[in-house]
Chains A and B, each alone.
Chain A
Amino acid sequence: MNIWESVRIAVRALNANRVRSLLTMLGVIIGVAAVILLVAIGTGVQDEVTGTIEGLGSNLIFVFAGNMEDGGGGSGFSINRPLTSAEVDLLADRLSDEHRVVPVVQGPVTLRSGNRTMRSTVAGSNEYAEEVFTADYIGGRHYRRSEVIAGSRVAILGSRVRDNLFPFQDPIGREIDINGLRFTVIGHLAAQGGSLTGDQDNQIFMPLSAAQRVLGTTDLSSIIVRAAEADRIDSVQAQIERILRPSLGEEFSVMTQEQTLGMLSTLLGTLTVMLAGIAGISLLVGGVGIMNIMLVSVSERTREIGIRKAVGAKTYDILIQFVIEAVMLSVLGGLIGVLIGWGGALALQAVVPTQVTAWAVGLAFFFSAGVGVFFGVYPAWRASKLEPIAALRYE
């Protein structure tokens, strides 16, 4: 009996048991598709976050209050000595003029316009903020140096703030109430999604001293220094540390974009491990599904093996038939799973960033196909060793 005859027998047997064939394939399909999709999401998110930070420019240096190295990080670290405008002035004074020093204060506020109210985040800064945070203006302008000095009550609205307070209206020149203080809208931004400093669409931007008054503080959240050239960033970082150490001691941290990336990649690494874990579980579940179907069908198939042996099938004939059946089911299921996983990843791109990776496709495919072949062949191999009459009588 040649191999084509075996293939035809296998195809006939699969066709005669369509429901079981489909269910087995479903196990492979789910396993493969889930792994590809999950890994695609993990990789996509990682790529996007990394890209966002990289997009900030490699010449940014961030100064935070508190020591990130000894505080243990996270919520556990306390700030004994906050950053204030004194440090901004000190840096602006001592650093060469070609570097920009941008103070940032952020905090929650309540906005009101007419009878509309919403919660938002205010971000105060100086006139150089434009050079650090990229944003597209739909209308209006950034606040000027004079307005920063004067602490003018002018505000720029993120897209969601505008849509909530002034739906389908031009907000320029309109007045809003921020934590009880009156502000005039001078600009509004295009929607741009999340970023390092939170959801910019849901923020409202204004001169530093105005923001500090709204929030009732004289502290800063951070200071961002934009070095004139990226390749001098290390020396600028060292300079900043030298300038601030006399007044702040060790109570501050200076990080470059690269160091921020390094910190985040630890975080994102955890995300990837988590997703890989979920992916592993889906593979396992898919594998158990395949195994289940294959083992459950063994009693009926053992009878079939008995019939085939009674009419003259050799052990080899039985084995090759089951190998071909299992390989065809697993490979076909695997290919469909790859298509669904890949297609799903592309379809999801509207909602979540996704990136299909070759290793995930390969791993998922070969694992599921391997499980399918093993659990398809192993029980059949055992059954093919039975005396024909034992197989025929199997219940």
Chain B
Amino acid sequence: MSVPQDRPASAFAKDLTGSKIARPVLTVTGVTKTYFLDEVVVHALRGVDLDVNAGEMLAIMGPSGSGKSTLMHVIGLLDLPTSGTVKVEGEEVSDMEPNKLAAVRNKRIGFVFQAFNLLPRTTALANVELPLIYAGVSSADRARLAKEALEQVGLDDRIHHLPNQLSGGQQQRVAIARALVTKPSIVLADEPTGNLDSRSGVEIMAILQQLNSEGITVVLVTHDHAVASHGQRIIHLGDGSIVRQETVLEPIDAKANLEAMLAAAAVSEAAAEAR
């Protein structure tokens, strides 16, 4: 790995994961993004260098306007950088033509959005099948894979429900199933708990941690330090550049939290009955 020493984010990551061989699944080099809105120039990103290592769970944090969503869109190939390069598994993607980018998004990247972004009036199963259609998977295989993905997020009893028949947490789980159904190398989650109540939020974090433990790289974008602390590493973004990074020595265990919440709920319910 040839990471120059003046790029602290990458260097730090390398040191941290010292025991493993830190193989970057995603490399961002000198990325800037500038918007021109009615003669006002907005520098959303001012030169970001970042390596995301295979198998890690990374959080990108920052206040609103810090450029964290823009960064996620750029590394997720939803948007093109004004300058700089993005490499996915060593392959330069920033100058690819749009249809090739679509193929990379389809096969290597899964998205989870704050607003879920499911197709309305379309069943959970059909929503999860969507990436597989564009991957050219046959219809029988599609149904099987989509069901497996929905099972993985614990929704196997709701595959024929429409988005408006599901709670926010359930919709987000459908979105996660859609993100992982193509078995991508990386899942990008933009404020995945932002529209959810705390219990659903913990459930979603537990699922993302579970996926990470199964080897999928997860990049989390959030403004909430508690959510970010579920990852092993936090990149703090401010005004379009990386201001600092943080190693989480003991990431929050969402599954343990969830069990504790359930136990507490059971206790208070029992207490209420006893009264």
Residues of A at the B interface (CB closer than 8 Å) are 1, 5, 9, 12, 16-17, 300, 303-304, 306-317, 387-390, 392
Contacts and interface: CB of A to CB of B under 8 A. Distances in A.
Interface in B99-140: 99, 102-103, 105-107, 111, 113, 117-122, 126, 130-131, 133-136
Contacts, number: 70
Contacts of A310: 76, 78, 105, 111, 117
B134 A387 contact: no
Contact of B130 (A308, A316, A389): A308
Nearest to A9: B133
A309 B120 contact: no
A31 to B, nearest CB: 27
B80 A387 contact: yes
A300 B119 CA distance: 10
B131 A312 contact: yes
A311 B134 contact: yes
A307 B103 contact: no
Contact of A16 (B80, B98, B119, B133): B119
A86 to B, nearest CB: 86
Given A303-B117, A307-B117, A307-B119, 7 more contacts: A12-B126, A17-B121, A304-B119, A312-B135, A315-B98, A388-B105, A389-B78
Contacts of B76: 310
Interface of B: 73, 76, 78-80, 98-99, 102-103, 105-107, 111, 113, 117-122, 126, 130-131, 133-136, 178, 182
A313 B122 contact: no
A313 B119 CA distance: 14
A76 to B, nearest CB: 66
A9 B142 CA distance: 14
Given A387-B80, A389-B73, A311 B99 contact: no
Nearest to B179: A311
Contact of B117 (A9, A315, A392): A392
A339 B152 CA distance: 51
A392 B117 CA distance: 8
B106 A387 contact: no
A310 B131 CA distance: 9
A374 B122 CA distance: 26
A392 B77 CA distance: 13
Contacts of B136: 1
A306 B105 CA distance: 13
Given A12-B126, A16-B122, A389-B73, A312 B134 contact: yes
B111 A311 contact: yes
A311 B121 contact: no
B2 to A, nearest CB: 31
B103 A12 contact: no
Contacts of B118: 307
